[in-house]
């Protein structure tokens, strides 16, 4: 029987997997929060809000709030909390976290990494937010999208600044964690379309990720898994150019079976089980089973991993993720 790691590689290379890859199983390591290597002294320079708790500032000075009853935190963008109010003055207010921390700062995080069985699973480092998300976290989505049109030179400069930080951060992650896989968040669309046109995406975002993902690949990382739980079918050629191995979060609106036919062998797809359809208060095991069966029958065994579309193992409503896992196990039997 293949290990979880081996089975995933057979799946995404068009080889001979002996079972369906079960969601995040090949990236999950025991004791790691959220199933992956999360947390480091660089991002820990800031704070994160607790559900229903007080808003907190992260290491970039961005204020996040997590209201009670909501699935996660999000930046606060009223006039008092917005970091970038004038894109032409971003240099005055945007300050990246320090990355040149001493080795002893990393020591508390290393036991989790050292405990990973790298023969069984990938040592997967979780990185978020991404370049585009960082832009709108700093200034709000409306201002961000307008600035791409109205102040392109300033947006290029800000993205260069964020990219240089990501490269410094990546160098430390590689040095201390030596990950086999990077699981990188950056949502690039809504459920209906990408936030940027493919041409604009190519101009502003692609160069940044070619540097970031190129650095990881040149420094021992085998797999790049990129999360965007959105419509982004129009961006897949650019994902391939960036060096993404697996697009995680591909919702069903992307016509995943068609993407597999068109791009399988160049990139693989992880998702097609939409949170919006099953991760809700009145979910049922029967409803979950139907969606899982549909996804597997549509997409087959190569270049596809059936998975909840949210960006990590788990679900908003207790039991949904586990029900998907159980159904995939049943299909494998």
Domain segments of the chain as ranges: 4-332
pLDDT tens, 34-70? 468 888 999 999 999 998 999 999 999 999 999 987 7
Phi, psi angles (nearest 5°) of residue 299:
-105, -20
pLDDT tens, 68-102? 877 788 999 999 999 999 999 999 999 999 999 99
Entry pTM: 0.96
Pick one of 3.20.20.70, 3.20.20.210, 3.90.180.10, 3.30.530.20 as the CATH number of 4-332. 3.20.20.210
Name the band, by pLDDT with cuts 50, 70 and 90, for residue 201: very high
Could you tell me what percent of the chain has a pLDDT over 70? 98
Cβ 118 vs Cβ 66: under 8 Å: no
Q: What was the pLDDT predicted at 70?
A: 78
- Mean pLDDT in the chain? 95
pLDDT tens, 162-193? 999 999 999 999 999 999 999 999 999 999 99
Phi, psi angles (nearest 5°) of residue 180:
-90, -20
pLDDT(199) > 70: yes
Q: How far apart are the first and last CA of the chain?
A: 13
Considering only CA atoms, which of 103, 243, 95, 115 is closest in space to residue 172? 103
Judge residue 78's burial from the number of C-beta atoms within 10 Å of its C-beta, 0-12 exposed, 13-18 middle, 19 or more buried. exposed
The Cα–Cα gap between 141 and 115 comes to 39
pLDDT tens, 271-323? 999 999 999 999 999 999 999 999 999 999 999 999 999 999 989 899 999 99
CA 134 to chain centroid: 13
pLDDT(234) > 60: yes
Q: What was the pLDDT predicted at 96?
A: 97
pLDDT(232) > 80: yes
Q: What integer is the mean pLDDT of 258-273?
A: 98
Q: What was the pLDDT predicted at 35?
A: 60
The Cα–Cα gap between 257 and 98 comes to 43
Could you tell me what percent of the chain has a pLDDT over 90? 92
Q: What was the pLDDT predicted at 34?
A: 46
Q: What integer is the mean pLDDT of 242-255?
A: 98
């Amino acid at each position: 029987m293949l290990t979880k790691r081996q089975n995933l590689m057979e799946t995404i290379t068009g080889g001979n997997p002996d079972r369906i890859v079960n969601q995040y199983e090949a990236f999950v390591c025991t004791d790691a929060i959220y199933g992956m290597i999360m947390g480091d002294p660089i991002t820990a320079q800031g704070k994160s809000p607790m559900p229903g708790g007080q808003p907190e500032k992260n290491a970039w000075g961005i204020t996040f709030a997590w209201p009670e009853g909501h699935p996660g935190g999000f930046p606060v963008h009223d006039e008092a909390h917005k970091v970038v109010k004038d894109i032409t003055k971003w240099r005055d207010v945007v300050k990246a976290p320090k990355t040149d921390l001493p080795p002893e700062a990393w020591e508390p995080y290393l036991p989790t990494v050292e405990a990973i069985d790298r023969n069984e699973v990938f040592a997967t480092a979780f990185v978020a937010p991404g370049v585009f998300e960082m832009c709108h976290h700093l200034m709000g989505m409306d201002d961000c999208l307008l600035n791409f049109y109205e102040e392109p030179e300033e947006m290029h400069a800000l993205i260069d600044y964020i990219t240089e930080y990501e490269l410094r951060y990546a160098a430390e992650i590689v040095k201390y964690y030596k990950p086999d896989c990077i699981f990188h968040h950056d949502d690039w669309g809504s459920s209906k379309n990408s936030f940027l046109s493919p041409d604009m995406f190519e101009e502003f975002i692609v160069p940044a990720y070619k540097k970031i993902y190129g650095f990881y690949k040149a420094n021992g990382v085998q797999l790049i898994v990129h999360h965007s739980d959105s419509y982004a079918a129009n961006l897949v050629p650019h994902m391939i150019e960036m060096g993404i191995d697996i697009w995680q979060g591909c919702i069903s609106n992307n016509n995943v079976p068609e993407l597999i036919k068109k791009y399988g062998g160049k990139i693989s797809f992880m998702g097609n089980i939409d949170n919006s359809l099953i991760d809700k208060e009145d979910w049922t095991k029967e409803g979950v089973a139907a969606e899982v069966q549909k996804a597997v029958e549509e997409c087959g065994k190569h270049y596809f991993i059936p998975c909840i579309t949210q960006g990590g193992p788990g679900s908003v409503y207790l039991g949904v993720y586990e029900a998907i896992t159980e159904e995939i196990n049943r299909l494998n039997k």
